[in-house]
Structure 1
Amino acid sequence: MTNSNRTVLITGAAQGLGRAMSVGLLEQGFSVAAVDRDSNGLSALREQIAAGQKFEGFVADLTDFDAPKLAGEVEKRFGRIDILINNAGIGQGQVRPDYHVNSPKFYEVTPSQWSRAIAVNASAVFLLSRAVVRPMLDRKWGRIINITTSLGTMLHGGWAPYGPSKASAEALSSVMAADLEGTGVTVNVVVPGGTVNTSMIPAEAPFARDALLQPEVMLRPLLWLVSPAADNVTGKRFLGTSWDAELASDAAAEKAGAPIGWKDLAVLPIRPAF
């Protein structure tokens, strides 16, 4: 099947990483169902779309949404969903805009801030994956790609609720990959590998914007993962910054990839025989 017959549902598509990935996928011929809560951002993205590219924006707030209904609307428009990219995220800026220099303690985070981060960064990953996976299983082909964060960020002091919520999505990705092993539906994680120049980094952050990674750092691993070359690749995480464009794609993937999560540290509990 060619790219023109594949439909991608991507969340958090209006800005930053999601915008870069949406544009990159459209340029490769994929149909893109772009989900975001920002209708103006989706309209601005639409204006960037070249003639002939298949694009539709869907407004949804992932803190409170109906995942099967959203998936159904995308399927009604495009006929199918082949690839799901769970990219939408709520960062530490919701707690305080100067968090890079004045990081909040976990006890300064409000229950509402915690719940919002869990809803978007973790629960939406589960809900959308659950909503789209059965037709993928029927077709014996599908891609679920989750955008988490650096493993160190998940554990860093001052990074609740963002770090723990992304750690939940990372662990869920590993579980889903194991549950879908051998079905033709793969689950992988892509992360930038550093601080990226997006709106998630507030103006109060002490960085020169041109010193940050740019959102396009995601494109090489992403486009490889949705290609036939990655048909048998699952349960892996890829760092955009580690992707060596001088290498052949498979070699670059080997260099930039590692198992999802903390498998090198994981020890299974002792269980009685049954």
Structure 2
Amino acid sequence: MSEKKLQNIHILVTGASSGLGLSMAEALLRSGATVALASRPGSRLDEAVARLTQAGYSAVGIPLDVRSEQSVDEAVQWVRREWGKLDVLVNNAGIGMKTVNPRFLVDPQPFFKVSPEGFRNLIDTNLTGYFLVARGVTPLMIEQGKGRIINISMNHETMKRKGFVPYGPSRAATESLSHIMAEDLKEYGITVNMLLPGGATITGMIPDELRNEIESKFQLLDPKVMDEPIVFLASPRAEGITGERIVAADFKKWLQERV
């Protein structure tokens, strides 16, 4: 196990049963944090938590539907009851373009072919979900006089790419939300930053049946690209940093320029 630089740090990661969320949760656990993996209940979450606890990590699973105020409230109540504090929220839960067009990377479709139901479902998860979870944990962080929120985003190019409604708009709005949250929370000692991989990543958002076809056209990043920057943002080294947009693939350069 690596150096326990995050000992006594309690972190909630949403969308943590697979993909970027699971990779970040594992990196935080390896660094000594206590982590609640939150996602919709099911075997994926149960199996991930079982594997991590059997490896000796301080992991726990929390059932969470980020689109539901009641579900968010229940998760926050669990944190208050079991931990009594929350140091870091990683807002990561989201769904991708394959929910409205399974062939989105190889056969993009224009926005007017997206169903209203598909549009609303993705926005409710990717944007409203970030708002609801951050809104839910902020009172606890205000009581503590400190806290960190990390919102996971994506490349600006993807926000403008052909055929990327509603995923592109959902993350463009996430970044606006993040900047405003950072300003709103400065006076309370709570920081808000954005973290994005820096390219398409190998996650469940890419349909398995199209992976070979997509990999021939796009260079996909390993989810582990998020590990080092997420640990940094949760660590004492990131004290006071807020309103930043960090590209994981360029993290070392970003860090060097800050020194």
Per the TM superposition, whether the score is higher than 0.5 is yes
| C-alpha distance in 1 between matches for 2:68 and 2:109 | 25
Offset at residue 237 of structure 1 (A): 0.8
Q: What residue is the counterpart of 1:64 in the other structure?
A: 68
Q: Aligned-residue CA RMSD in angstroms? A: 2.0
Residue number among 234, 238, 249 corresponding to 1:226 in the alignment: 234
| C-alpha distance in 2 between matches for 1:193 and 1:225 | 17
Specify the SS of the correspondent of 2:214.
coil
Q: Which amino acid aligns with 2:181?
A: M
1:98 has 2:103 as partner: yes
Residue number among 131, 134, 139 corresponding to 1:134 in the alignment: 139
Specify the SS of the correspondent of 1:63.
coil
Q: What residue is the counterpart of 1:263 in the other structure?
A: none
Q: Which amino acid aligns with 2:232?
A: W
TM-score in terms of structure 2 length: 0.90
Q: Residues 199-250 of structure 1: CA distance to partner in whole angstroms, max 9, x if unpaired?
A: 1111224233994210010011111111111111100011111123xx7x94
Residue number among 25, 40, 47 corresponding to 1:22 in the alignment: 25
Residue number among 238, 242, 245 corresponding to 2:250 in the alignment: 242
Written as runs of structure 1 = structure 2, the 5 A alignment for 1:114-133 is 114-133=119-138
Specify the SS of the correspondent of 2:118.
helix
Q: Structure 1: where are the runs of 5+ without partners?
A: 256-274
| C-alpha distance in 2 between matches for 1:65 and 1:220 | 32
Q: Which has the higher helix share?
A: 2
Identity of aligned residues (%): 36
Q: What residue is the counterpart of 2:215 in the other structure?
A: 208
Which gives a bigger RCO, structure 1 or 2 (Cα 8 Å, sep 6+)?
Answer: 2
1:9 has 2:16 as partner: no
Specify the SS of the correspondent of 1:4.
coil
| C-alpha distance in 2 between matches for 1:137 and 1:31 | 20
Offset at residue 38 of structure 1 (A): 4.7
User: Are 2:14 and 2:91, in contact at CA under 8 Å, matched by a contact in 1?
Assistant: yes
| C-alpha distance in 2 between matches for 1:78 and 1:33 | 10
| C-alpha distance in 2 between matches for 1:65 and 1:151 | 29
Written as runs of structure 1 = structure 2, the 5 A alignment for 1:11-50 is 11-49=14-52, 50=54
Q: What residue is the counterpart of 1:164 in the other structure?
A: 169
TM-score in terms of structure 1 length: 0.85
Offset at residue 3 of structure 1 (A): 2.8
Offset at residue 69 of structure 1 (A): 2.1
Q: Residues 160-189 of structure 1: CA distance to partner in whole angstroms, max 9, x if unpaired?
A: 010101111110000000111243210000
Q: Which amino acid aligns with 1:110?
A: S
1:80 has 2:88 as partner: no
Offset at residue 73 of structure 1 (A): 1.8
Offset at residue 134 of structure 1 (A): 1.8
User: Are 1:10 and 1:22, in contact at CA under 8 Å, matched by a contact in 2?
Assistant: yes
| C-alpha distance in 2 between matches for 1:181 and 1:69 | 26
Offset at residue 152 of structure 1 (A): 1.4
